[in-house]
Amino acid sequence: MPATDLSLLVKAAEQAGDIACRYTGPDAKRWDKPGGAGPVTEADLAVNTMLEDMLQQARPGYGWLSEETEDSPARLTREKVFIIDPIDGTRSFAEGSRTWAHSIAVAEHGEVTAAVIYLPQRALMYTAAKGKGAACNGSPIRISAAAELTDTEVLAAKPNLQPHHWQGGTPPAFIRSYRPSLAYRLAKVADGRFGAMLTLRPSWEWDIAAGDLLVREAGGTISDRSGKLLRFNNPHPRLNGVVAGNTSLHTALIAALDPAGPGIAGH
């Protein structure tokens, strides 16, 4: 069934890309969500409407969790749930950048089993199904083989290097890089371009779900900032940060992080 779901997600992502690319990011109508939750554009809403109609019609028994749909506890009663970010990297989209992505996943009993991250303006379609490996544009991808943090680049925003996150107050030495879309960051770890990534702030499930499976199916390890396995379709759909990479790099980052650092204990 994951392979069948993946075929559906690919078709949905292609249609999402067609819709989003009809809009010129800087000219798209834009609003700021209440409570400092970030921007949303008319493209986000148009893509979300199409995905909700298409996917729920195809799989009426699946639950639904999307950044742009009001959440409902009904999803908690479903064995399988779609977890969707119609456009991950909305700020980049609104600025006219090409580094935004559609992030679409299916989770079953808390585990992601099918996933797509699609960057239509970069012609990159990342796909994964449980037990079937991960691919980009149909070609298998694999996690980096770097053994030491000093031998690779780590995707991390600058605030993640603040001393209070790290044991001894000093982060490990590594080359820091950045991409605005969290889904894209996870995809670039899965395809081996970057050795690892981390985000230490509370993170929404829809930003992470598809990338979680890509990393695992590419041979990597992914967890929250405390090293705990990621589980999805939680009552409060927020996770305690994300750390991803090959096993060696993931272990090194988790060991260097301060377990008493700021997080979202209880969620």
* Residue-by-residue pLDDT tens, the chain, 267 positions: 789 999 999 999 999 999 999 987 677 776 666 665 667 889 899 999 999 999 999 999 999 999 999 999 999 999 999 999 999 998 888 888 899 999 999 999 999 999 999 999 999 999 999 999 999 999 999 999 999 999 999 999 999 999 999 998 889 989 999 998 999 999 999 999 999 999 999 999 999 999 999 999 999 999 999 999 999 999 999 999 999 999 999 999 999 998 766 654 332
Q: Which of 75, 104, 89 is nearest to 39 (CA)?
A: 89
If you count DSSP H runs as helices and E runs as strands, how many of each does the chain have, helices first?
6, 16
End-to-end Cα separation, the chain, in angstroms: 30
* pLDDT for the residue 223: 98
* pLDDT for the residue 170: 87
Relative to beta strand 63-66, strand 80-88 is parallel
Determine phi and psi for 161, rounding to 5 degrees. -95, 5
Task: Quote the DSSP letter at residue 235.
Answer: S
12 neighbors 48 (Cβ within 8 angstroms) = no
Q: Which of 214, 188, 222, 17 is nearest to 105 (CA)?
A: 214
Q: What is the pTM of this model?
A: 0.94
d(CA 117, CA 210): 7
Helix (H, G, I), strand (E, B), or coil: what is residue 157?
coil
d(CA 255, CA 259): 9
d(CA 169, CA 2): 43
135 neighbors 127 (Cβ within 8 angstroms) = yes
d(CA 105, CA 228): 20
Spatial CB neighbours of 111, under 8 Å, sequence gap ≥ 6:
130, 231, 232
Q: How many CB atoms lie within 10 A of CB 131?
A: 9
* pLDDT for the residue 264: 46
DSSP strand E in 35-79: where? 39-41, 63-66
Q: Which of 133, 128, 41, 127 is nearest to 87 (CA)?
A: 41
DSSP strand E in 55-146: where? 63-66, 80-88, 101-108, 111-119, 124-129, 134-136, 139-140
